Amino acid sequence: MSRNPDLRVKLGALEFKNPVMTASGTFGYGREFESFVNPNLLGGIVVKGLSLKPMAGNPTPRIAETPGGMLNAIGLANIGIDEFIEKKLPWLRVLDTNVIVNIYGHSIDEYGRLAKAFKGVDGVSALEVNISCPNVEMGGMVFGKDPAASAKVTEAAVRNTDKPVIVKLTPNVTDIRLLARAV
């Protein structure tokens, strides 16, 4: 019996050396956690959500402990795609793991522009399209609650990138199968 089992996993065109990945929004841009875990041991790093321009997010306090866990309202704070590509991606590029970039926009056009910004960019294995957050174009509604809107966002991302696209669906729906089929 082998002491080193083969843990490789394929997801579409992507191959991961193992199924352990960080969840978007929980691991920053990766480097923040290198003193706790060797990022090269992970199957992939999904970075904090990125928007076209930097966003400050919500004012503090952003996290509150409750008897049943915690509540958070970070507000999608991020450095924006330009600073990410210039300052964070060089460190991620040298890692021996997949780097998946989470993107979010407030309109279908923004998702297309975000996807296009990563077209041809080395060091990015895939895009994770976040459609579980409110947007401006539809009056603050989550794109991910409407199958037609979900499909349009997905199509805008796929059309504008050369990367595999993963869609982050919202759990706040009655039947997620409708959204999964739409995207």
Catalytic residue annotation: 133
Q: Which two tokens stand for residue 18?
A: 């193992």
- Count the residues in the chain: 183
Q: Are strands 44-46 and 98-103 parallel, antiparallel or unpaired?
A: parallel
> What are the two backbone dihedrals, phi and then psi, of residue 24, each rounded to the nearest 5 degrees?
-60, 140
Residues 6+ apart with CB under 8 A from 45: 21, 22, 27, 30, 39, 92, 95, 97, 98, 99, 100
- Where residue 160 falls (left for φ over 0; alpha for ψ -120 to 50; beta otherwise) is alpha
